[in-house]
């Protein structure tokens, strides 16, 4: 059963589980269950995607009740009036602790044309764990709040890898040795990227809405283990 965060006559917001594909596509490959199908069955009605999340990413996903609402929400995403906030755990401690990654990215095809892409981030907490890996006796990790200003394919994952602080659990752009460390020592078998909050305007009333998706047990237990807290001041400076 999918966790529904908000439901009305125009839209539904669900807390997408990690490792559940949103819909059928060439990128997904061998998946046999899809969020959009599960939601249709759960509510007994047709639904239409307003945007996407990567299969490995969890968090707030907006789904429209009809094609017109999906188009209206899509315009907000395309117009960059939707404010997206992600919680993410990365290897290393970024310098500076707060900044903007401004680096053009291609679409789903790596050989495609690159388009401008910007991600703001703010370091929320850090830890150094006494586990030897490679030539280092201890490993450093950081908990970040990330705000993509554009919506490119795998933007946050690619941007953080670009600055050499890849997302933990990212099989495509991350570090296999650190991903294995999290499985072995922390029992964490998911990518640590979560679409935490979404600010947008209701497509019918125009009223401002803020939706927040709680962390799953795997992500929440890791925060508890590292004594990391969710951010109180929920914006990266510059907004």
Which pair of structure tokens corresponds to residue 23? 């819909």
Whether the predicted pLDDT of 139 surpasses 90:
yes
The mean per-residue pLDDT over the stretch 171-186 comes to 95
Q: Please give the pLDDT value at position 22.
A: 93
pLDDT confidence band for 25 (50 / 70 / 90): low
Considering only CA atoms, which of 216, 200, 212, 194 is closest in space to residue 6?
212
Angle, CA 91 vertex, CA 62 and CA 93 arms, to 5°? 105
Count of alpha carbons within 13 angstroms of residue 187, beta-carbon side? 7
The C-alpha atoms of residue 103 and residue 117 are separated, in whole angstroms, by 6
Whether the predicted pLDDT of 140 surpasses 90:
yes
Q: How far apart are the two ends of the chain, measured CA to CA in Å?
A: 36
Residue 161 makes CB contacts below 8 A (sequence gap 6+) with 167, 170, 173, 174
Angle, CA 45 vertex, CA 41 and CA 47 arms, to 5°? 95
Q: How far, in whole angstroms, is CA 75 from its chain's centroid? A: 20
Considering only CA atoms, which of 73, 86, 26 is closest in space to residue 234?
86
The C-alpha atoms of residue 163 and residue 136 are separated, in whole angstroms, by 20
Q: Does the annotation count 54 as an active-site position?
A: yes
Active-site hit among 54, 170, 177, 199:
54
How confident is the model over 34-87, as pLDDT tens digits?
999 999 999 999 999 999 999 999 999 999 999 999 999 999 998 989 999 999
In degrees to the nearest 10, what's the CA dihedral of 131, 173, 99, 82?
Answer: -130
Q: Please give the pLDDT value at position 235.
A: 67
């Amino acid at each position: 059963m999918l966790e529904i965060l908000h439901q009305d006559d125009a839209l539904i917001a669900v807390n997408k589980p990690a490792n559940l594909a949103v819909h059928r596509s060439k990128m997904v490959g061998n998946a046999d269950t899809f969020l959009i199908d599960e939601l249709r069955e759960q509510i007994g009605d047709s639904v239409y995607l307003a945007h996407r999340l990567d299969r490995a990413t969890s968090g707030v996903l907006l789904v429209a009740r009809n094609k017109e609402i999906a188009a209206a929400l899509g315009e907000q995403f395309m117009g960059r009036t939707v404010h997206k906030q992600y919680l993410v755990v990365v290897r290393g401690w970024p310098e500076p602790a707060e900044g903007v990654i401004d680096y053009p990215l291609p679409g789903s095809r790596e050989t495609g044309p690159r388009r401008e892409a910007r991600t703001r981030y703010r370091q929320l907490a850090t830890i150094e764990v006494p586990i030897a890996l490679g030539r280092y006796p201890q490993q450093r990790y950081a908990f970040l709040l990330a705000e993509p200003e554009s919506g490119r394919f795998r933007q946050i994952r690619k941007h953080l890898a670009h600055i050499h602080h890849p997302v933990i659990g990212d099989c495509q752009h991350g570090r296999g040795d650190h991903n294995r460390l999290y499985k072995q020592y922390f029992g964490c078998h998911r990518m640590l990227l979560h679409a935490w909050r979404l600010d947008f305007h209701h497509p019918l009333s125009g009223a401002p809405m803020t939706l927040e998706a709680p962390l799953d047990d795997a992500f929440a237990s890791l925060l508890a283990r590292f004594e990391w807290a969710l951010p109180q001041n929920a914006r990266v400076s510059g907004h």
